[in-house]
Structure 1
Amino acid sequence: MLSRRRQRQAEEKAEEVARLERSTLLLFGPRGHPGRQNASELWWCKHYQWLKDSGYLLRRRYAPDWVPSWQTSNTSWLTMGSDGAFVTLKLFKKSRLPYEIEIGQLFSTEPLSSDPANHCVLIYDVLVVPDEEDRAIIVMPLLRFFDDPPFDTFGEVIHFLRQIFAGLRFMHKQHIAHRDCMYLNIMMDATPLFSDPYHPQDLEMKRDYTERARHFTRTQRPPKYLFVDFGISRRYGPNDIAPLEDPIWGGDKTVPEFQQSNEPRNPFPTDVYYLGNMIRNSFLVAKAGFEFVEPLVKDMVQDDPEKRPNMDEVILRFEEIIKQLSSWKLRSRVINEQDDNILGFYRCVTHWARRFSFVIRRVSAIPTP
């Protein structure tokens, strides 16, 4: 049974799931105060009808006549239309992120969009805000962070690293430097993982907020990992193999060459650093058992950018590392920091049950689509 407080929260969350018209997409925006919209939400409220007319239905909270559910006596439990899809809308100023649209659309257009090595988020649509020429909205799939839910096995992490290494090399082959490919800008299309569509705000709950959303492991249902946020990315000519850019601070503030001076730098080795530092912090520091990738990561994060491997070299070395890993290692469980004794024991038991089943059925230790 849900508590009274949980019931009230569930009522509000359910009210936010509006019935969609054919080909209509839905946005779940940032959290706000349960009884009133905050300053950032008011912008979405003001543009609710324009977005609806454009084919995108915001959650009920942003409608002009919205009233918190507990202030009404006849709360409706609404469902989503079968032809609707949940998306993310990103509002930004074009003057501040001048390449967001250009580069995002490049990777979303043939022939690049269907290339298996392309791991850049797909841009569905671009909306120019009326009466605000400097503002635009890009429409993207609903994604979640690459490590949520947690990885189950080392083989699943290998599958993740293979994808992001291939994805960054693909960008570099197109003469594009991401310039901010750190933790927050690597996401996952988790659609294959979940048997129950998850709620876009409370990711552990089902979309109708009735219970927890159930999901498979990545071994059972391999997801696709994607780079997002191309606002400070840059595209260069095919002959500009060592371009120079003024340092620009993205989400990762630890780039060694930016600490040393303000001189223009080649952004491609900096991309390699970003990726290596993400791996160092997310796996080498946060979890045990990833020593096998440490030599490669150390080279990716060297202080001297000229000594870092390029992405071709990273992939070649990584594939050689994988060849040295046993099936036992690949199927071993990744221990997560949040596991307490009881939760850790439960996950260990369920992991071994799955592992035995996968071995019997010859399921690959490294997920395959």
Structure 2
Amino acid sequence: MAKCFFANKKVGYHTSSNPNLIGLRTSSSHARNQVDSSWDDLHDFTILKEWKSPFKQQNGHHHTIKEDIQLLRDMNSQYHQPRLFTLPMKKGEEAQNCVKFETHKSNYLVELIEGILPKEIIQGSKILVKMTESSFPNIIFINFSTAVKAYQADQFMQQWNEYTPPTNKIKSTLIKKSLDPLYTITHDSIESLPEYPVPKNITVITNEKEVESKTIELLLDGEKPMDIQLLSKIELGMDFDWYHKNITSDEQTFYVLTLCNDDNCVVYNLESIGCLPPILEQIISSRTIVKVGYNHKMESTKFEKQFNVKLNAYDDLSKTPIVMRSKPKTLRSVAGLFLKQKIPKSEVHRYSTSLSSLFTDKKIQHYAQKAHCAKTLYYVLESDKVDFQLRFEEGDHLIDYIEDD
């Protein structure tokens, strides 16, 4: 897994008891008391609704950034401006519980952040300078002391921006890959666990003529996909895998699709079937049939492209808050963490010239185990608690945050 390295310097923070300085962060002493009691790592983070921007209008005039900085200094004679950080000659500290802050309107970003964020959040943090952005003092990275405080800082800054003139906004980006995990497991611990049981009823389909009747009978309780409503609560574990059809090509070809309910697993040999049959297209695109899977390295997007189908009602476990706070983040590791069972490893020869080697009894069992495990985890992960609801957002897929075992 690629790592980003930074150089570091400790962040200074306010120690003054000046009530005017306190007023910079909250609109009232009551709100300030709320801050003191709520910035606790053991509690869920909540935005203070009473909090307003410190940079208010005076006589209809919005302060400029320079005026804001002067306002900060004038309101607290004991304010200590931290020395501007300098870029070291070699790589420094790795990003950890890190938030990126940027503004293209001011070079006083350090002072602004110190004036905006509550001391309880910023205390113990470190300023980092990203090596590739050393010439931009209006872009900084800060390592916070805990993952919760990094999340709080990002949320607080977003709330601050809602009450701030556009010219004064400070963009914040939580570096999710840098967060300390809440749940961890080692390779040796996984290996010591019992194996996830092989589903009892596995059906392999290789003929298109069998697809519709077997699918309706084994997976859909006798109903056609178009007739299924959300109240029917049809939830299917889903998994797929790919290989390179041509030894000289890097193009991925999905050759197997596996769907499971509580009682049955159906393994579809898509290469032998020769297409994605209509009933499978209907299941995949259905908004009333829930599909549960583990979208390792954005493979569902590639699957959609190959078969020109839209995957709807898909619950991707790899993007859930609890998995995003776990390490490693592979399906095998998550099964070890929350089911206390291991999915056996099964090597897939991506350049295999023999399709039969991809459908041995052992591999068929492996496909069924993965799909069935995803469905089992679907219920388990809903009951486990996280310290904050980290969400997967657009653009996060640009970072391959799922590590290999």
With the length of structure 1 as denominator, give the TM-score of the two structures. Answer: 0.26
With the length of structure 2 as denominator, give the TM-score of the two structures. Answer: 0.24
